[in-house]
A = this chain, B = another copy of it.
Amino acid sequence: MGSRQPTLAVVGATGSVGTVMRELLTSRRNVWGEIRLIASARSAGKQLSCRGEQLTVQELTPDVFDGVDVAMFDVPDDVSLAWAPIAVARGATVVDNSSAYRMEPDVPLVVPEVNREALDYRPRGIVANANCTTMAMIMAIAPLHREYGLRELVLASYQAVSGAGQIGVDTLHDQLSKVAGDRALGSRPGNVRQAVGDDLGPFPAPLALNVVPWSGDLAADGWSSEELKLRNESRKILALPSLKVSATCVRVPVVTGHSIAVHAVFGSELNAEEARQVLRNAPGVILVDDPQAGEFPMPIDAVGTDPSWVGRIRRALDDPRALDLFITGDNMRKGAALNTVEIAELLAAEIAKSQG
């Protein structure tokens, strides 16, 4: 015993995902020695609480990684690209929540409940965390895949505004304040746009009283980057490089909690009750499937919780190998901060073991 507890760095500690990371580090069983909170020069010097301590935010510099064992990054892609290799060079293993490294063949994309073993091969010292929408979905699909052999996914998302950061949340609430109670809105084209005004925040259109079938950047052939992430990341996490995936990503006026309507085609026939049993036994999944009692997965219930909520399990009427279901997960927790923390904790356990 008496082994040194590993040192953790949280890069992007002042952001909205960083805030959830600090909450999780406070509420979960502690495996860390020193924790360093790191952010841009603008936030350096700020006092933030974590694990019951008041910590001073340190500026992102190469030296700040000296002595760090594990560094969790939640920063934009370009910052990750620039700084993850520096952290690695100073001796840290990086768990990165940006999309910068996810599809690199020598960077594992890890969901502990699904492909824990992928963590063992990380030649670059970087581990990637999946996109928030992929994450909620894959938690329920992976156990079904193990049982029935996944062939195809058709996905439609209902994505919350907090996926776009605090500015997304503020934008939605500002817009809702302008339209709430005005019953005449929503009966004529342009009414909502006029009431909301020009401040669309990070979104291409008003979110209040609307749904916006767009998320991310424009990729080839009319696809959004978010839709391609769902395809590419699902294939990588499940180790199914030719899995058929079609996704349509849609932003909805929900604060937190990404939902996905899933049509999943498998290699073998299945029945709904057996599938429910698979999901009941799956780690990180909670089954809520009693429509008569008003029980189905919804953002207002899943927010602030760890698991993926899964329900509306139906065998397709025209294909005994296909299942329709609905999934909701907290995009800030398992979809971002929680999975990153879980990977970091696995690394901490590895360090403890190697010292044991």
Contacts and interface: CB of A to CB of B under 8 A. Distances in A.
B304 A211 contact: no
Given A294-B204, A300-B209, A326-B248, A315 B221 contact: yes
Given A183-B170, A319-B244, A261 B299 contact: no
Given A209-B254, A263-B263, A248 B182 contact: no
A282 interface: no
Given A231-B317, A263-B263, A299 B209 contact: yes
B187 A301 contact: no
A42 to B, nearest CB: 22
B189 A304 contact: yes
Residue with the greatest number of chain B CB neighbours at <10 A, chosen from A189, A259, A297, A316: A189
A213 B248 contact: no
A192 interface: yes
Contacts of A248: 156, 261, 263, 312, 324, 326
Interface in A282-321: 289, 291-292, 294, 296-305, 311-319
Please give the count of copies of this chain that the complex contains. Answer: 2
Interface in A212-260: 212-214, 218, 221-224, 231, 242-248, 250, 252-257, 259
A186 interface: yes
A6 interface: no
A311 B213 contact: yes
A261 B213 contact: yes
A119 interface: no
A283 B272 CA distance: 40
Contacts of A125: none
B231 A304 contact: no
B186 A314 contact: no
5 contacts: A160-B186, A173-B183, A210-B298, A244-B318, A250-B326
Interface of A: 152, 154, 156, 158, 160, 162, 169-170, 173-174, 176-177, 179-183, 185-193, 204-206, 209-214, 218, 221-224, 231, 242-248, 250, 252-257, 259, 261, 263, 272, 289, 291-292, 294, 296-305, 311-319, 322, 324, 326, 332
